[in-house]
Amino acid sequence: MAQKITDTELKRIRTTEPSDGGVTDTAVTGGLLKMLTSLDRRLLQELITEQRFEAGDIIFGEGDEGDALYIVWAGRVAVVKGKFSRPEDVFFRLPGEVVGDMALLENKPRWASLVAIEPSRLLRLERAGFYQLLQAQPAISLNLLALLSARLRAVHETSRVETPPEQGTLRQISSLLDENEQLVTLHRIRQETSDLIVHDLRSPLGNMYGVLNMLELVLPEDVLAANRELLDIARLAHGRMHDMVDSLLDMSRLESSELMLDYEPVCLKQVIAEVVALATFSANWRSIQFETSFADDLPLVMADAERIRRVLTNLIENAVKFTPENGRVQINTTLADQMMQVSVQDSGPGIPPADRQRIFDRFAQVQRTGKRQPRGFGLGLAFCRLTVEAHGGKIWVEAGEGGVGSRFIFTLPVNKTEANMPDHNL
């Protein structure tokens, strides 16, 4: 039967402010837990035993032999350094955390006690079983884990000496490394999810396109004429979805420099006219007017026509989205310093100066002022930035004319040929 602390000692531990050095116990938790969960479940069941403790039970004491590690399954426990009635350090451990690994790895006595502060269930893995698991997973180096454990123990012991600028730095480094690993994992999961969505959407989009074509082939001419507007809406919706899927896929390839841009001479005036024609359908519903202005004798630019068309589509559709009824969208194209410059200005609520840079990041959301608050996933402008930069240009946003709305501007080089395009065809 487990030894217990007194009710007074238990209350003292529960109400003690956790010590700042808790990272020394948890830095290797993620790696150990990941290793354990990757092993054969039958083997784990043979080597791991479940133990139950009531509030106040002493699971092990300071100075005891470090013969096992514990995984908190349910409840809450406290790592206590010093006397229970007046602890020097207290660290709380929650379900999913590993406790006691340092003493086990180094074959040293426990440096602190472990106490259940509420009814808890723990999984116990003894040293012999742990070594057996390591043999079953040869990629894990016991020496590396022991070294890391020794370093972490040294950091903890240093924290008790009153010369800790270096200790604070070590703790910050450990915390930053842990945060970086989490960010890398989140980025990978996000990327895998995006890729999965892209590939899963292609099939139904292809079916939709086939059905639309089939309807135009089989419907009688009078029925077709009577429903032309509905079919046009469906085609526009399909085209927009197709562009979104392609842009998602292109973003991943642009970020990894794997996308092959298909350069050809492009007349931007013609591309802009085509995009405006398609956007006019939705703009007419809210009486939004387009105004276009082109400098005289604009040269052709060497660019990937399809992807630049998608850049313009994103910018112009965004402008329509944020422009109020009876507003206007202005599109200007000029030539300056051997760069073609295209601007798209809306008459909407505008973008706060603090957000004008991050708005081109993936999944960025900006809270605009005004009544109308359309929302998106923050992917369109990220695609625009990656595509324009891959062409050797720049993109930015500024306040609109007279401080009204927003003006998005991007540039493309005009003195490029197929022979000296930016090296993005990797």
* 97 phi-psi bin (left φ>0, alpha ψ -120 to 50, beta other): beta
- Residues lower than pLDDT 50 in the chain: 20-31, 139-141, 143-144, 147, 151, 155, 158, 161-164, 167, 372, 418-426
My answer on whether 305 and 403 are in the same domain is yes
Q: How far is CA 382 from CA 186, 346, 379, 386, in A?
A: 18, 19, 5, 6
What is the residue range of 171's domain? 163-252
DSSP 117-165: SSSEEEEEEEHHHHHHHHHH-TTS-HHHHHHHHHHHHHHHHHHTSS-TH
Residue 257: other Cβ atoms inside 10 A: 11
My answer on whether 267 and 416 are in the same domain is yes
pLDDT of residue 240: 73
Q: Where are the alpha helices (DSSP H) in 160-263?
A: 165-218, 221-226, 228-255
CB 344 within 8 A of CB 279: no
pLDDT of residue 196: 60
**415 vs 337: CA distance, rounded Å:** 10
My answer on whether 380 and 245 are in the same domain is no
My answer on whether 292 and 361 are in the same domain is yes
Examine residue 357 and state whether it is found in any structural domain, yes or no. Answer: yes
Q: Give the residues across from 333 on adjacent strands.
A: 294, 342
My answer on whether 347 and 382 are in the same domain is yes
Domain count, the chain: 3
**172 vs 104: CA distance, rounded Å:** 25
Q: 188-246: per-residue pLDDT in tens? A: 665 565 566 656 666 676 667 677 777 777 778 888 888 887 887 787 777 777 777 77
pLDDT of residue 418: 44
Q: Which helix (H) or strand (E) holds 98?
A: strand 98-99
Domain boundary (186, 221, 252) is at 252
My answer on whether 182 and 36 are in the same domain is no
My answer on whether 94 and 179 are in the same domain is no
pLDDT of residue 366: 66
My answer on whether 227 and 242 are in the same domain is yes
Q: 146-194: per-residue pLDDT in tens? A: 545 554 555 455 455 444 455 455 556 656 666 666 666 665 665 565 5
pLDDT of residue 25: 42
pTM: 0.49
My answer on whether 153 and 245 are in the same domain is no
